[in-house]
A and B are shown apart, each in its own frame.
Chain A
Amino acid sequence: MDTSSFGEFIRSYFLWRDPMIVGAVSGAICGFLGVYVVLRRIVFVGAMLSQVSSFGVALAFYLQGFSALSLFQSLIDPFALSLVMTGAAALFFALNRVFFRISQEGVIGFGYLLASGIVVIIADRITHEAHDIADILFGSAVVVDPKEVYIVPAVASVAILINWIFFKDFIFVSFDPETARLFKYPVRILNTVLLLTVGVVIAVTTRALGALPVFALAVLPALTALFLTEKLNWVFVIAVLIGILSAGFGYYFSFILSLPTGASITTCASLFFLLGVIWQQGRLLSRSKFG
């Protein structure tokens, strides 16, 4: 390791403290909720929701440009609009099982592509904020809004509290919804609460980190954890740790190598995933060799 770069990084503590806190908390909560996303085989819901969240932010910037809406300027807050739109998308997805005979994957793909297309169109229309929108899409911001140091941990705490109360029930309705219905569990309500939690967390973390790294953190740590352990509780613990490490290392390399932060976080999460694949293959190989 280049000690001068590391020393410089340590000395610049005041610069990276807030983004690092927000990144680590985002990595932890996205890693945790990502386990459900992966186990329920809805990984692209993460991509769709983060894209819808970006759409909400872009739309807010766009609407702020209209003088006719000046009375509502305070209401057209990018964060609030992205939260509302992501929540609505999560709710729609949770409540509808039949989408005009289209598969769930098809609906997710449609939502993702529609949101992505509109974001690019809006970015083209409002060139003065295009840089902000690029930050939201790819997470190239090295600094974060000071408010987010409080908002992200607060939202993460609420999400963890909900999971602490309903952990057994979320696992049950995800793994065996048929028996859950037989046992008169409120399957639809539990699914809606879970997906809304995922939606709100994605909206908040997308605003702080960007859509690309949030999608990466909502999928890759959980997938990696599933390679590393056969125990469900440990999958959650390991996914949280990998989420934190991916965000932490991502910021570190972004800082010392002047890389785009979002891409750096995504690459770190991908490297952990590759290490997970190698670990699992090694384990399978040694099992087949030594019985």
Chain B
Amino acid sequence: MKLPYLIELENVTIGYDKSGFLNSISFSIQQGQFWGIIGPNGGGKTTLLKTILGLIPPVAGKVHCSEDRSLIFGYVPQRESFDHIFPISVAEFVAMGRYIRIPVGRGIKKEDWKVVTECLEKVEIPHLRDRPFRSLSGGEKQRTLLAHSLAGEPDILILDEPTASMDIKGETAIMELIGKIKERDNLTVLMVSHFLNIVARFADHVVMIDKDDEFFSSGTIEEVFSGETLSRVFGLNVTVEQFTDKIRIYAGARGSDKKTET
């Protein structure tokens, strides 16, 4: 029996200006799943994400959203995508995530500010409320972006490289926070990431794409993450070690002296 989906991609071709660069993308995301999107730089990950969000129309095929309800996306774009000339405070920035529920021409009400406060508490930064967004550290900005995406009370959280340019401590803290929020709010998550081990640790399903190689694969982590496919997509020897409850991925052949955890 086919399970009800939140989002389903049916033979989608992604690309820009009617010129597609990756065909036949089909997969469906169900309530409560955690999906990772991985691939090399310039492999089409963000394009796929924006196609799912409806920001870029698919060149061919269809993106179906659940028929049971209208989906609300909580989108966390890359931190660098904001112009720092704007003197926006953390609270003002988080409030913008609420605008999906505030029509054009209507101001922000008291209840909306209450939700903003709750979201700041969820991501553990209520003390940063009045600080300018541009003055925050990378980790603080990421938490603010997360609060911004939660403010609209979303059905699905969509994250574009949430741990890019972060040290291991910041990266772990952000990912654990995302995992905690996902569990508590029973959210569905879709995350683009460069870090294979992070995807392997937190996601239960994965999409792997590479437009240059016209490669697409989707499924559970165990189905998709094999040394052979990862080596093909990333163009170097990748070793996958499977343990009972986790997968470890290394760049470099098994038994090599120098192995880099990815």
B and A form one assembly: yes
User: Are the C-beta atoms of A231 and B87 separated by less than 8 Å?
Assistant: yes
* Chain A contact residues, majority secondary structure: helix
Q: Which residue, of B86, B88, B104, has the highest number of chain A Cβ atoms within 10 A?
A: B104
Q: Is A283's beta carbon under 8 Å from chain B?
A: no
- Residues of B contacting A182 in the complex (Cβ-Cβ under 8 angstroms): 53-55, 73, 75, 100
> B105 near A169 (CB under 8 angstroms)?
yes
Q: Is B32 part of the binding interface, using a Cβ–Cβ cutoff of 8 Å?
A: no
B27 part of interface (Cβ distance < 8 Å):
no
A176, A178, A230: the one within 8 Å of B87 (CB): A230
Total contacts A-B at CB 8 Å? 64
Q: Contacts A178-B55, A181-B55, A232-B87; is A165 near B105 (CB within 8 Å)? A: yes
CB distance B83 to A41 under 8 Å? yes
A130 to B68, CA, bound (A): 69
Binary per-residue interface labels of chain B (51-83) against chain A in the complex, 1 for a CB within 8 Å, 0 otherwise: 001110000000000000000010101000111
Which residues of chain B have C-beta atoms less than 8 A from A180's C-beta? 99
Q: Which of A167, A176, A178, A186 has its CB near the most chain B CB atoms (within 10 A)?
A: A176
Q: Which residue of B lies closest to A179 (CB)?
A: B75
Expressed in whole angstroms, the minimum distance between the Cβ of B66 and any Cβ of chain A is: 17
Residue of A38, A39, A167, A230 most packed against chain B (CB within 10 A): A230
B125 near A: Cβ within 8 Å?
Answer: no
Q: How many residues from A make CB contacts under 8 Å with B?
A: 27
Which residues of chain A have C-beta atoms less than 8 A from B108's C-beta? 168
* Cβ contacts under 8 Å, A172 to chain B: 96, 99
Nearest Cβ in chain A — how far from B132, in angstroms? 5
User: A226 contacts B85, CB within 8 Å?
Assistant: yes
B82 x A176 contact (CB < 8 A): yes
B residues 142-201 near A (Cβ < 8 Å) are: 152
Is B235's CB within 8 Å of the partner chain A? no
Q: A168-B108, A176-B96, A181-B55 are in contact. Are A231 and B89 (CB under 8 A)?
A: yes
In the assembled complex, the Cα of A186 lies from the Cα of B105 at a distance in Å of: 11
In the complex, A218 Cα to B73 Cα: how many Å? 37
B85-107 vs A: 1/0 string, CB under 8 Å? 11111001000110110101101
Query: What's the minimum C-beta distance from A42 to chain B, rounded to whole angstroms?
Result: 12
Answer yes or no: A59 CB below 8 A from chain B CBs: no
A182–B72 CA distance with the chains assembled, in angstroms: 10
- For the A-B complex with A168-B108, A185-B104 known, give 14 more contacts whose Cβ atoms are closer than 8 Å: A39-B85, A41-B83, A166-B104, A167-B107, A176-B82, A178-B81, A179-B77, A179-B96, A182-B54, A182-B55, A182-B100, A183-B152, A232-B87, A232-B88
